[in-house]
Chains A and B, each alone.
Chain A
Amino acid sequence: MTQIACFVEKYNFTYSDEAEALERFKRTAEQMGHEFNFIFRSGLSEIPKYDAVFIRATTDPLYTAYVVSKTAWELGLKVVDDPESIRICANKIHQYRLFEKYDVPHIPTLFLDKEEFHHRRIEEIFELFGKPVVIKAPYTSFSKYVEKVSCETSFREVAKRFFRRSDYIVVQKFMPSHFDWRVGVLNGEVLYVCKYMMPKGKWKHGVKRRGKPSFIWGRTVTLKRENAPQRLKETALKACSVIGKGLYGVDIKEVNGDYIVVEVNDNPSIYRGQEDLRDKDIYEKIISFLVK
């Protein structure tokens, strides 16, 4: 019997679909003969009692989840997400540099530092990528800190904001699409495939409502993994191969029949009735990976 700690934060139980997916992880682990307990921030001192740690709270090297991951790693426990995957996936500059190095097809990207943040460089960028362009903070997640800009004034406003926390930011060509593929990958194998649809009239999956703190999200259309295009799955696996052997959600755009990686996320969302809709075995596969 393996004792699994699942690190969560209160917000993981806000949406019923996510809370039900977490309950399903627990039930699956117990049916497989393992112990599965949720631990919160106040339970970090209990990590040494466990054999494996499964992180569901948002990861970033500056969040508690990284402390959890690193603590488990230093203790020699199996941990998903591992610290290296967190470091690479949480920083898009790190990730795109690896994609460049290992020829992973990705959206045309350049990196902008504070010193280059001037009129001529901004004009060069618009000439290179056309208008609009997409500016990403390296720490983007859940469609936040990704903004589309069409003029120098908005470029400056967004870039200035993102430069507060990072000395470098990412600028990408704008590639509109009705959906992004999301391929779930575990240990170098495809776990699930879905389409994250853009809400009507929007350009990204999650969009903040004008003047309100809440987000609207596009629909999720799920396919059986064996029915998904082979080249899509190959592209997703190649992107993950430069990061690690953990659990990832790869966002991919389909452009004129080619598959282009948008980004690889560690700690991908798993909601009941969405990512698990067609391939019901994803819970079992993740638990098996944790106890291996």
Chain B
Amino acid sequence: MSGASCVLVVSNIDLRTNTSIIKPSAFLKSSVRDFILNVNNDYRYMKTGYYVSLHAEILGNSVVPTTENAVDAYRPPVLLIRASKNGVPAMPHLVTDSVKQIMAEFSFPVVIFAVNPFSFNGFQTAKNRTALYRAVKSLSMNYRYAVCAQPLRSEILQVKSFFGECNIEDDGVREIARKVYETFKIPVCKLLIQRVDGEAYLCGLQPLKLEKILPSDVDVISKIVSRFSGKGWFD
């Protein structure tokens, strides 16, 4: 949101900034009318971070991230569709519950993500048919739900992204982080990336556990929040 006069930061992370910050529980009881910057380690559907964005939207506030983006970014197939539409190199994917279909589409090894309401953001890798059957059975809750399969062409790189900035010296990875933020505006997340023949490809986005946010990460997030909140600019 460009040019907003006032930004209220709602965060469950102990940020060190001069900007006014309130905790999610306090915000959820308030009826503040401001531009809301929701800085949370976890925006999963039906968790507090999600309800902060929902509360802001119901009050008629502009909010980063929106509930739509929070839902979409954490669903691997939707993440990849929307990200590639915005020019992010993404791994090919297949949503199915059929092991045979996965084997017909991709050669081993493959990575399987859950598309079900219980295994939040889980993934498993499979190097052979037996492991694939096991992964699909487990992540689909015994074939009750679908899974999202992708080819596994390199080790999965897990990159912390704060407002689209990351501390990896790889232009491809940095560009992915920047564009994923541009598309979904998830302030704090972990990106899952594969590097194939020197090129970086997005394969997933996950919440970051609170304990994985180190003091140095808090400094980075705080600096970005201070830098932007004065300008009322987070887009």
Bound together, the chains give a CA A74 to CA B94 distance in angstroms of 17
A139→B81 contact, CB < 8 A: no
Bound together, the chains give a CA A193 to CA B92 distance in angstroms of 45
A84→B58 contact, CB < 8 A: no
B47→A167 contact, CB < 8 A: yes
Name the interface residues of A84-98: CB closer than 8 Å to any CB of B: 84, 87, 91, 93-94, 97-98
Bound together, the chains give a CA A41 to CA B97 distance in angstroms of 7
A166→B78 contact, CB < 8 A: no
- The answer to the question of B68 belonging to the interface, with a C-beta cut-off of 8 Å to chain A, is yes
Bound together, the chains give a CA A268 to CA B97 distance in angstroms of 25
Name the interface residues of A46-83: CB closer than 8 Å to any CB of B: 60-64, 66-67, 70-71, 74, 83
B46 vs chain A, min Cβ distance (A): 4
A67→B78 contact, CB < 8 A: yes
Q: Nearest CB to that of B114 among chain A residues?
A: A62
B67→A67 contact, CB < 8 A: no
B75→A115 contact, CB < 8 A: no
Bound together, the chains give a CA A62 to CA B85 distance in angstroms of 22
Bound together, the chains give a CA A66 to CA B82 distance in angstroms of 14
A62→B68 contact, CB < 8 A: no
Name the interface residues of B21-59: CB closer than 8 Å to any CB of A: 25, 28, 45-48, 51, 54-55, 58
- The answer to the question of A44 belonging to the interface, with a C-beta cut-off of 8 Å to chain B, is yes
Interface residues on B, range: 20 to 34
Task: Given A97-B58, A166-B46, check contact A70 B146 (CB 8 Å).
Answer: no
Name the interface residues of B94-119: CB closer than 8 Å to any CB of A: 94-98, 101, 115-118
Bound together, the chains give a CA A111 to CA B190 distance in angstroms of 31
The A interface, classified by DSSP as helix, strand, loop or mixed, is helix
Set of chain B residues within 8 Å of A61, measured between Cβ atoms: 45, 71, 75
A44→B95 contact, CB < 8 A: yes
A167→B95 contact, CB < 8 A: no
A42→B98 contact, CB < 8 A: yes
* Number of A interface residues in the complex (CB < 8 A): 31
Task: Given A60-B117, A61-B45, A70-B81, check contact A101 B58 (CB 8 Å).
Answer: yes
Which of B55, B98, B115: most chain A CB closer than 10 A? B115
Set of chain A residues within 8 Å of B71, measured between Cβ atoms: 61, 66, 87
- The answer to the question of B123 belonging to the interface, with a C-beta cut-off of 8 Å to chain A, is no
A113→B25 contact, CB < 8 A: yes
A139→B145 contact, CB < 8 A: no
Q: Nearest CB to that of A98 among chain B residues?
A: B58
A67→B115 contact, CB < 8 A: yes
Bound together, the chains give a CA A66 to CA B85 distance in angstroms of 18
Closest 8 pairs between A and B when the two form their complex, measured CB to CB: A62-B117, A166-B46, A64-B146, A97-B58, A41-B146, A44-B95, A167-B48, A61-B71
Q: Name 12 A/B residue pairs within 8 A (Cβ), A-sorted.
A: A61-B75, A62-B116, A63-B145, A70-B82, A83-B68, A87-B68, A91-B46, A94-B58, A101-B58, A115-B25, A165-B117, A167-B47
